[in-house]
Chain A
Amino acid sequence: MSEQRHPPYAASCPDCDVDLESDAPNEIVDFYRRHHRVTGHDVAFTRIDPALGEAVDEDDLDEVYTLADVVAQLEGEYDDGAPIGAVAAAMSERGTSLGETLEEVHEIRMNGALYEPRDDHLRAF
């Protein structure tokens, strides 16, 4: 009997008791944006790709305090920048909510320490 495969990322809104599973971390961000737009609720990761932990593990995170540093660590894993959803997932391990990460990304981009080689993908200067 085969075991059911779970997509590597999942998130939920506990207030509405709804969730989304996805192979793509940026789909979690899209889900957050759609949900937050009409509820104001945050959406929290409930499952994160274990491979992400290898790219930015707990020890690294203990030393890495800025979001830009997390991006710098993750971007090497991707051809065209770290998906913002993967960054948000890594930051959620540090207790930063998805909404807080998106706000911080925006601020840092405006300051010039991050840029988007394409939409919702990040690289650090």
Chain B
Amino acid sequence: MSQRDDSQPPAASEDGTERSNAVSARRLTGPGSLEREKEAVFGRYWVYVGHADSIPEPGQFFTRNVGDRQLIVVRGHDDEVKAFDNVCAHRGSKMVEDTPMTDPGGGGRIQCPYHLWTYDLDGDLRSTPKSFEDASLNPDLDSGEVQEFDCEANGLNDVRVDTVGPLVFANLGDDPPSLAEQVGAAADRLESLPLEEYEHGRRIVSEVECNWKLFAAVHFDGSEERDADGTLAVDDHGWTVERAADGDGSEDRRPDGLEAQFHYCWPNVAIDVYEDVDGYATVALDPVGPDRVQLIADYYFRDGDLSEAERELVRTTRQRRAEDAERAERRRTGLEGGASDRLGSNDRTGAELRRLAQEADDA
């Protein structure tokens, strides 16, 4: 029997529990989908951009790409984390060089190297070179006629940011719902943990040859956590798998008594709070092409110097990502060959991911 599916995709059941269903390969791998998603997904939803603790001092910043835009994420003099497009308001030049969160930049001002327009940490224009204040080189204009720059109107384009604990999210949309609304119950679960007490221990970045949704479907399905007696709770924009403490008398290190939590927050990040090792990780997806996704995994432990158990956890989780990458790349090959993608009746996370992708696609 052929597994090819050239028909229009039948509607998927909402929660995936009533019947098996399938979607066309085109739904997951169709040409041009990333270009649409830059606007419909990454330009609309709250997107994880980094960790506030990496920029503890005013003026420290890092850069982060979201869709086709690059943001400067900076801590202001008021101690708040802010984000601006990394684009000068003068001629649209890129201002600061690529700066990873793991090696942040710093300074009291943001200056464009092109014509030295200088902005403060609120994004307001603070100074321009003298040549912008007179017209000595322009015989058609008297210097007295040169208008003063409106510093506010010529400020950097600011981008909404909000946080869940120390996790910083940005939203490129005009009128987005609140971050709390999008992240749902996971925000409360995560904010009940002392995430800010942990130190960044390791960053590992890899790439997978498939689109970001395929990898999310394979790697963020929470199946490993569910197999370990975890309880799945599906929310409007993601899901959580939690494993309760087993009451073995050991000292619970979490105030809620839970031993492990796994959260997937649509569209681009999973937060994994471990039980065997005192720490957590974020795995962020950054689509870098229609069929290529970059995985940015950051590990946080009590101490930045990793113990052997922590190094082992990094190794095993990296291995798991590599195995899932291979599975996702195989699925991509099959789907591009025209195979259908059929959900099992218990695949609630798969159904949820499709619902979210379809909702964004239809928007």
Contacts of A94 in B (CB 8 A): none
B314 vs chain A, min Cβ distance (A): 11
CB of B151 closer than 8 Å to a CB of A: no
A31 vs chain B, min Cβ distance (A): 7
Chain B: how many interface residues by the 8 Å CB criterion? 17
A39 to B294, alpha carbons, bound, how many Å? 12
A105 vs chain B, min Cβ distance (A): 16
Query: Quick check: A18 and B206 within 8 Å, CB to CB?
Result: yes
A24 vs chain B, min Cβ distance (A): 13
Contacts of B206 in A (CB 8 A): 16, 18
Contact with A along B199-214 (1 / 0, CB 8 A): 0000111110000000
A123 vs chain B, min Cβ distance (A): 25
Query: Quick check: A39 and B207 within 8 Å, CB to CB?
Result: no
Q: Please pick, from B65, B98, B318, the residue contacting A17 in the complex, using a CB distance under 8 A.
A: B318
Report the nearest A residue to B50, measured CB to CB: A38
Query: Quick check: A16 and B100 within 8 Å, CB to CB?
Result: no
Query: Quick check: A39 and B288 within 8 Å, CB to CB?
Result: no
A41 to B98, alpha carbons, bound, how many Å? 12
Report the nearest B residue to A20, measured CB to CB: B207
Known: A17-B318, A39-B100, A40-B103. A34 touches B288 (CB 8 A): yes
CB of A118 closer than 8 Å to a CB of B: no
Contact with B along A32-43 (1 / 0, CB 8 A): 001111111100
Q: Please pick, from B102, B204, B294, B318, the residue contacting A34 in the complex, using a CB distance under 8 A.
A: B294
Report the nearest A residue to B288, measured CB to CB: A34
Interface residues of B in 316-363 (CB under 8 A from A): 318
Contact with A along B169-212 (1 / 0, CB 8 A): 00000000000000000000000000000000001111100000
CB of B296 closer than 8 Å to a CB of A: yes
Query: Quick check: A36 and B207 within 8 Å, CB to CB?
Result: no
B5 vs chain A, min Cβ distance (A): 31
Known: A17-B318, A34-B288, A34-B294. A40 touches B100 (CB 8 A): yes
Contacts of B288 in A (CB 8 A): 34
Q: Please pick, from A17, A18, A37, the residue contacting B100 in the complex, using a CB distance under 8 A.
A: A37
Contact with A along B51-70 (1 / 0, CB 8 A): 00000000000010100000
Contacts of A35 in B (CB 8 A): 205
Interface residues of B in 192-238 (CB under 8 A from A): 203-207
Query: Quick check: A18 and B102 within 8 Å, CB to CB?
Result: no
Query: Quick check: A31 and B98 within 8 Å, CB to CB?
Result: no
A18 to B103, alpha carbons, bound, how many Å? 20
Report the nearest A residue to B284, measured CB to CB: A38
Most B CB within 10 A of own CB, among A13, A16, A17, A31: A16
Q: Please pick, from B65, B203, B286, the residue contacting A39 in the complex, using a CB distance under 8 A.
A: B203
Report the nearest A residue to B296, measured CB to CB: A38
Contacts of A40 in B (CB 8 A): 100, 102-103
Query: Quick check: A37 and B203 within 8 Å, CB to CB?
Result: no
A39 to B203, alpha carbons, bound, how many Å? 7
Contacts of B203 in A (CB 8 A): 16, 38-39
Contact with B along A56-80 (1 / 0, CB 8 A): 0000000000000000000000000
A18 to B288, alpha carbons, bound, how many Å? 16
Contacts of A36 in B (CB 8 A): 98
Contacts of A39 in B (CB 8 A): 100, 102, 203, 205
A-B contact sample (6 more), CB < 8 A, given A16-B204, A37-B65, A38-B294: A13-B205, A16-B203, A16-B206, A38-B286, A38-B296, A39-B102
- B-side residues, CB < 8 A to A, are 63, 65, 98, 100-103, 203-207, 286, 288, 294, 296, 318
Question: What are 13 A-B residue pairs whose CB atoms fall within 8 Å in the complex?
Answer: A16-B203, A18-B204, A18-B205, A18-B206, A34-B207, A34-B288, A36-B98, A37-B65, A38-B203, A39-B100, A39-B102, A40-B102, A40-B103
